Amino acid sequence: GAVVSQHPSRVICKSGTSVKIECRSLDFQATTMFWYRQFPKQSLMLMATSNEGSKATYEQGVEKDKFLINHASLTLSTLTVTSAHPEDSSFYICSARWTGYYGYTFGSGTRLTVV
Amino acid sequence: AQTVTQSQPEMSVQEAETVTLSCTYDTSENNYYLFWYKQPPSRQMILVIRQEAYKQQNATENRFSVNFQKAAKSFSLKISDSQLGDTAMYFCAFMNLLGDNTDKLIFGTGTRLQVFP
């Protein structure tokens, strides 16, 4: 149980275009999802907290206009990287928590390469 | 603000031996959870073990156990009978129980564990 599916696993896009990453809870309802960014050999950096039906809460230093988060249903959150640039290339991971379960399930991550 | 510190960037152990990964944290709160996550080369984050701060008994999961010292704010992970498949990055994580569904994980910098045959 508690499976989170993240797609795509890899994406290459041209500079200036937008890319959407999906995070879907398959067998539970996720009122809260989290988006992380991970640079090579580094830890996970929390970008934002996504709450179903409300605006996402962004961490300090994260550009909300560049990283658009939508959590329109209890099973789906999306991260859109707008006007992507090479410096946005990174590994993005989502996670979701169960209602009442103090722990998190992670998606398998998306490797974004902007060329 | 809460912080999580892992002072060992890299560790190595021989297969079948025991290794301990260190983690310390800083918080003024009393109600929280601590986790160890494993990230193998596939980069999938896998929960290894979880500890509730209100529990004095150390959590164990098969070959994995923790030494939770609440007063010292220490949370080390012991891996017994190490296996080649244990090779991975290990992250210690802290979660403060705010009770408002915005509880978020704070990660340490990670320890890269290499298990040698």
Contacts of B99 (CB under 8 A, 6+ apart): none
**What pLDDT band is residue A40 in, cutting at 50, 70 and 90?**
confident
Q: Is B10 left (phi over 0), alpha (psi -120 to 50) or beta?
A: beta
Q: Per-residue pLDDT for A98 more than 90?
A: no
For residue A100, is pLDDT > 60? no
Residues A44-53, mean pLDDT to the nearest whole number: 90
If 0-12 CB within 10 Å is exposed, 13-18 middle and 19+ buried, where does residue A45 land? middle
User: pLDDT class for A1, splitting at 50, 70, 90?
Assistant: low
Q: A103, B52 in Cβ contact below 8 A?
A: no
Closest by Cβ to B104, choosing from A34, A93, A108: A34
Q: Which residue did the predictor score with more confidence, A55 or A6?
A: A6
H or E segment at B11? strand B10-14
Residues of chain A neighbouring B45 (CB-CB closer than 8 A): 44, 93, 95, 106
DSSP for A26-83 reads SSS--SEEEEEEE-TTS-EEEEEEEETTS--EEPTT--TTTEEEEEEETTEEEEEE-S
- Radius of gyration of chain A, Cα coordinates, nearest whole angstrom: 13
Q: Which band of pLDDT confidence, cut at 50, 70 and 90, is reported for residue A99?
A: low
pLDDT tens digits, residue range B40-88? 999 999 999 999 999 989 999 999 999 999 999 999 999 999 999 999 9
Q: Which of residues 61-100 of A touch B (CB under 8 A)?
A: 91, 93, 95, 97, 99
Q: Note the pLDDT of residue B34.
A: 95
Q: Are residues B15 and B105 in contact, defined by beta-carbon separation less than 8 angstroms? A: no
Asked whether the beta carbons of B23 and B5 are under 8 A apart, the reply is yes
Which of A46, A51, A102 is facing B33, going by the closest CB pair?
A: A102
- The SS3 assignment for A86 reads helix
Q: How many residues does chain B have?
A: 117
Residue entry with tokens 């045959």: B117
- Cβ of B103 within 8 Å of Cβ of A93? The answer is no
